[in-house]
Amino acid sequence: MPRLRKSAAPLWRCPECGRGFANRNQSHSCSDVSLDLHFTGKSEHVRELFEALVKVIKACGPVKVLPEKTRIAFQVRMSFIAVQVRRNYLIGHFVFARRVEHARFTRVETFSPRNHLHAFRLDGRAELDDEFAAWVREAYAVGEQKHLIRKSAPSA
């Protein structure tokens, strides 16, 4: 029976900002942005919504919250969810290894056979339901790079 094998190579670290990436020389903008900066001038409602989202994401396991200049990314080995803070709501996207058509996604973009962006908008906590939590778990697995597990021949 074939075994499952997964690469667990160490993350490449940017020599400028120290952020870890699954891919060497990953394109990014080095930044030292505070999380609070994203919430300046925004409603308390949107901060509470963000904190509720973080709780759903962290239920999957360890995650890095990475405030960047234009977004807040969530990363395991790869970034798998990112959000932008608006005055009273959040917009964001999941990365899935498959394409999912659903009315809750504002757009879906396919970049490669195992790289599909699914954009969403969150207006309230009620939208962080079981269906949304299942999508978070699916995206988290992409962040772990579980979608890259490949079958290998058994050892002799």
The arrangement of secondary structure in 33-149, i.e. its CATH architecture, is Alpha-Beta Complex (3.90)
Q: Which helix (H) or strand (E) holds 85?
A: strand 79-85
15 pLDDT band, cuts 50/70/90, is: low
Beta pairing partners, 118: 94, 108
pLDDT digits (tens, 9 = 90+) for 39-69: 999 999 999 999 999 999 999 999 999 998 8
pLDDT attached to residue 9: 72
Q: Where are the domains of the chain?
A: 33-149
Q: What is the pLDDT of residue 93?
A: 98
CA nearest neighbour of 34 among 83, 88, 75, 72: 72
Tokens for 133, please give them.
């939590």
Written as six digits, the tokens of 95 are 């990365």
Structure tokens at 33: 């942005």
Please, what is the average pLDDT of the chain?
Answer: 85
This prediction has a pTM of 0.79
SS3 label, residue 132: helix
- In 3D space, the residue among 60, 66, 64 whose CA is nearest the CA of residue 83 turns out to be 66
Structure confidence at residue 81 (pLDDT)? 97
Which of 66, 60, 65 has its CA nearest to residue 142? 60
